Structure 1
Amino acid sequence: MKKGYDLRICTWNVRTLNWEGASIQLADALEKLKADITAIQEMRWTGQGCSKRANCDIYYSCHAERREFGCGFVVSRRLRHHVSNFTPVSERLATIRVKARFFNLSIICAHAPTEEKDDAAKDAFYARLEDTYDRCPNHDVKIILGDFNARLIDFAAARNMVVSSTRFRHLDIHKATWLSPDQKTRNQIDHVVIDGRHASSVMDVRTFRGVNIDSDHYLVAAKIRMRLCRAKNVRPITQRKLDVTRLRSQRTATAYSTHLSELLYQPTPLPVDAGGLWAHISHSMRAAAKTAIGFKRPPTRNQWYDEECRVAAAAKNAAYRRTLQSGATRATCERYREKRKERGGF
């Protein structure tokens, strides 16, 4: 990473990631946008963990059984080696910690209950958010991203935090983060909140309407000035697995025994200490197996998301962009709905 690196940190309520095709579209869209870390809400996956992709890592904290809510992070390959740990809290809260030069980043993904929920649910959420915030190291740059309700202001004021998503002057179309189903009402409910002592590090926050994942929320992106530490892009060395099923063949088993005997009882002097002797036996067994048995082939991935799916997704996104233009008619919106229905919404 170069010095003075500007991070693009985003938040997005996606709502449709229970389908594999939607997550592929999301990863491709964020890569084009050059998003470094994106907090996502309403993933609707199950369980907790990390799904590693070629162009990103998806960390998720979801309900153990039901496909509802769920939150997490999409980390680009440029930053995947800077992630020190991920902490799933609940289907509405998760944290990730990123290594930096002077101050590490503790980023919280939050999905608050809507205003229609009862007070007990909202009180429980903000109590857990406070506990999650307090567990972050004091010297870290603390950032909260997500879908909030009106009580966010009280929480931010109590913690001396700044709602950065309302500080920058932009056109109204670059402020709203949510669009009602009737295409008439827009609101700003997705926010970027940072602790006050590092508020000057946020260079800009705005909405990107053109990025489409069939959600009624727009993607919100913040540019943050942050100097990162050097990270060695070293891939972990994974040992290839031997295809031991081939030993069922008598011919393969005989070949393995022959090679192993030749290596074990070669004329060179054997080590006298136990450690050296075991190293010789282990190396001989591995070398004989490599020659006679061979390794397993890597499993082939499901390639159902083919070029036809990508063409359909491109046509759908083109129809979506036409709905964003001024003077868009009802027929334009209807054509976009038809494109969403094709091939299961992809």
Structure 2
Amino acid sequence: MTTGKNTNNYSGLDDAQKTSMIDRELLKRAIDIAALKATRLSRSDIIKEENYTFYWFGRQEGEVRMYGTGFIVRNSLIQSIHTPSATSNRLSYLRLNTEQNSVLVLSVYMPTLDADTSVKDVFYEQLQEKLRTCYDKECSVAWGYVCLNQG
């Protein structure tokens, strides 16, 4: 897991120390939900810190961990969400219940332009299916960072 800061200062930290540090930084910035991409963590897991709960979805132990997505959710909102899930290690989602409707929040690691066509096809089929389930239920979709120079 990377912190988005100069990793030279944090190279000796283990993942538990990093999540604790990220927990404090998100609280300072009053962020409720953060989408993760390129976690490069193995397995799928949950870590609950003091203020936030970390969810991630990666590949199995022993597999190359190039992608991975997930979420960090403020603990006060946990009762308002369905536990995050993943279609693949490139696409995870959670549903946030609001008074008006439910909001589908996506964490996406899109294939790059030079990825195999079959990888891109599978990814976009999964994304389209996830969006279709949202539109069928009249919910809103929240997108995080989307890089348009990807596949």
Deviation at 1:121, TM superposition (A): 2.1
The yes-or-no answer on 1:123 pairing with 2:109 is: no
Contact 2:111 2:150 in 1 (8 A): no
Tell me what 2:28 maps to. Answer: 32
| Higher deviation after alignment, 83-92 or 101-110 | 83-92
Provide the rounded CA distance (Å) in 2 between the counterparts of 1:139 and 1:23.
34
Tell me what 1:149 maps to. Answer: 148
Q: Encode CA deviations 1:120-162: one digit per residue, 9 max, x unaligned.
A: 322221121111212235311112224433468xxxxxxxxxx
Residues 48 and 92 from structure 1, CA distance in 2 versus in 1: closer, same or farther, beyond 3 angstroms? same
Tell me what 1:48 maps to. Answer: 44
Match of 2:41, as an amino acid? W
Unaligned runs of 5+ in 2: 8-13
Match of 1:51, as an amino acid? I
Q: Encode CA deviations 1:36-81: one digit per residue, 9 max, x unaligned.
A: 0000101122212322221111111111223331110000123222
Provide the rounded CA distance (Å) in 1 between the counterparts of 2:123 and 2:52.
29
Contact 1:58 1:73 in 2 (8 A): yes
Tell me what 1:19 maps to. Answer: 15
Contact 2:23 2:50 in 1 (8 A): no
Higher strand share: 2
Moved over 4 A (4+): none
**Bigger radius of gyration:** 1
Contact 1:13 1:40 in 2 (8 A): no
Contact 1:44 1:62 in 2 (8 A): yes
Match of 1:40, as an amino acid? L
Q: Encode CA deviations 1:179-207: one digit per residue, 9 max, x unaligned.
A: xxxxxxxxxxxxxxxxxxxxxxxxxxxxx
Provide the rounded CA distance (Å) in 2 between the counterparts of 1:45 and 1:151.
22
Q: How many residues are treated as equivalent by the alignment?
A: 140
Provide the rounded CA distance (Å) in 1 between the counterparts of 2:92 and 2:110.
12
Q: Secondary structure at the match of 2:47?
A: strand
Contact 2:19 2:49 in 1 (8 A): no
Provide the rounded CA distance (Å) in 2 between the counterparts of 1:13 and 1:71.
14
Percent identity at matched positions?
A: 22
Matches within 5 A, 1:185-196: none
Residues 151 and 126 from structure 1, CA distance in 2 versus in 1: closer, same or farther, beyond 3 angstroms? farther
Provide the rounded CA distance (Å) in 2 between the counterparts of 1:115 and 1:42.
17
Matches within 5 A, 1:241-280: none
The yes-or-no answer on 1:64 pairing with 2:60 is: yes
Matches within 5 A, 1:284-299: none
The two structures have a TM-score, normalised by structure 1, of: 0.37
The yes-or-no answer on 1:138 pairing with 2:137 is: yes
Deviation at 1:114, TM superposition (A): 1.9
Unaligned runs of 5+ in 1: 1-11, 153-346
Q: Encode CA deviations 1:255-310: one digit per residue, 9 max, x unaligned.
A: xxxxxxxxxxxxxxxxxxxxxxxxxxxxxxxxxxxxxxxxxxxxxxxxxxxxxxxx
Provide the rounded CA distance (Å) in 1 between the counterparts of 2:59 and 2:150.
24
Higher helix share: 1
